Amino acid sequence: MIIVVLMLVAISHCQLKLQLFNESEVDQYNARCLDGSPAGFYYQSASDSSNSKNWVIHLEGGGYCLPDNLADNKANVDPCSNRVLNALGSSKYFPATAAPSIFSDWNQVFLPYCTGDLHAGIMTEASSGFYFSGHLILAAVLSKLNKEYNLQEATGVVLIGESAGAIGVFINSEYVKEQLPENVMYVGVANAGWFLPLPPFNPKFQGLDNLAQIFESFCDMYVNPLCASSFPSSPINCLWANYTFPYISSPIFIAQSIFDQNNLEAQLGTLPLSYGNRTSDNFVLEVSQIVNNSISSYIRDSDGGLITSDYVHVLGPNDGADGQTAIQVLLNWFSQKSPSTVFSSCTTPNCQPFP
């Protein structure tokens, strides 16, 4: 099996160059950022000819946004109108280059996240004044890579993402596989994307229990078709990993903290820096146990994972559990060594007792 290192670990200073879709491509693919500006991607060809058929496709993270009227009175929700003023909503602010994440000697593709829709939107027209076209952008990039960059000859492909990009990995994994050669070695790496549709601790804040349904109210979303057919009354729930994961046929490496800061922030409404409130303590422990049990019940022999109790969101290369770092476990998985799946034995954040 192929061997890689974890995201955020670059071993080259080569920069990926921005490729914006031209006007005709934007119209053809409906590849638009929130503000309607042309979407694009960053690309760098393999620096080593021996890796000319190996690819990394990286989905950027960055939370989500809602139209302003739906974001009202929800202090933890980013209104989409804020995002069109920066690179999270408009290509007008995209830098000219991007740094490589992993596999710097492979063909590298980086998809900047400018749609606020978990890389799942399939809107061809504006909704509430915004274009939610995340999946369409991914489809456009794959089509262009196949036509002009020889992706159709790939022998190895890694789809990688963090946060909202990791959610995008779960959602789009099967779709990406369908665009690749039949015998390609294809895997996914999802860092901090195992969010569950749980109600908020603070009712004044937006929880995840009905977020998929809120998205559905203003935006058409792509979900795994097999998952959708299994939940005909609520296919939109297939946005979440615990619904869609059983319908992903390719191996996935899950990097996740059961005390994910962003996950707890979504449920609590505010980051619980102190655990003096016993009710809050119990809620945090309950959520962490639900996340831990959910992952352990779905992960398969072909998958790998590092499930930590670190009080972080996206795991870094040296974050770990029970003496194993993220890099070590990921390398073990790719080289088919043990341990390739590690669950933290800690039951409190950072293995620290509650005060």
> Which pLDDT score is estimated for 237?
97
The structure tokens listed for 232 are: 């005909």
Rounded distance between C-alpha atoms, residue 64 and residue 3, angstroms: 32
Identify the H or E element spanning 16.
Answer: strand 16-20
Cα–Cα distance, 148 to 160 (Å, whole number): 22
Provide the 8-state DSSP code for 350. G
Tell me: domain 16-259, CATH 3.30.450, correct?
A: no
Note the pLDDT tens digit of each residue in 299-308.
Answer: 999 999 999 9
Q: Lowest-confidence range among 195-204, 229-238, 269-278?
A: 269-278
205-237 pLDDT, tens digit each: 778 889 999 999 999 999 999 999 999 999 999
Mean pLDDT of 190-196: 97
What's the pLDDT score for residue 71? Answer: 85
How high is the pLDDT of residue 19? Answer: 98
| CA-based R_g, the chain, Å | 19
Does residue 191 surpass a pLDDT of 70? yes
- The answer to whether residue 203 scores a pLDDT higher than 90 is no
Structure confidence at residue 271 (pLDDT): 55
Nearest to 110 by CA among 65, 168, 152, 71: 168
For residue range 38-73, what is the model confidence (pLDDT) as tens digits?
A: 999 999 999 999 999 999 999 999 999 999 999 876
pLDDT at residue 266, as a whole number: 75
Helix (H) or strand (E) holding 18: strand 16-20
pLDDT score of 155 more than 90: yes
Hey, where are the domains in the chain?
A: 16-259
How much of the chain, in percent, has pLDDT values that exceed 70? Answer: 92
Q: What is the pLDDT at residue 1?
A: 41
Note the pLDDT tens digit of each residue in 89-145: 999 999 999 998 777 899 999 999 999 999 999 999 999 999 999 999 999 999 999
H-helix segments, 99-157: 134-148
Note the pLDDT of residue 9: 43
* Weakest mean pLDDT among 5-19, 45-59, 185-199, 318-332: 5-19
pLDDT at 11 over 90: no
Query: Residue 293 corresponds to which tokens in the numbers above?
Result: 């049990």
Axis-axis angle for helices 164-178, 134-148 (nearest 10): 50
| 319-335 confidence digits (pLDDT tens) | 999 999 998 999 899 88
Q: How far is CA 349 from CA 27, 116, 194, 218, 326, in A?
A: 48, 29, 17, 37, 17
Q: How confident is the model at residue 277 (pLDDT cuts 50, 70, 90)?
A: low
DSSP-derived secondary structure letter, 346: -
- Is a pLDDT exceeding 90 seen at residue 264? no
**pLDDT at 7 (0 to 100):** 40
Span 11-29, average pLDDT: 89
Tell me the average pLDDT of the chain. 91
CA distance 32 to 38: 5
Task: Report the pLDDT value the prediction gives residue 6, as an integer from 0 to 100.
Answer: 38
Grouping H, G, I as helix, E, B as strand and the rest as coil, residue 98 is: strand
Give me the pLDDT at residue 176, please. Answer: 98
Of 140, 178, 155, nearest in space to 2 by CA: 155
Residue 270 is predicted with a pLDDT of 62
pLDDT of residue 251: 98
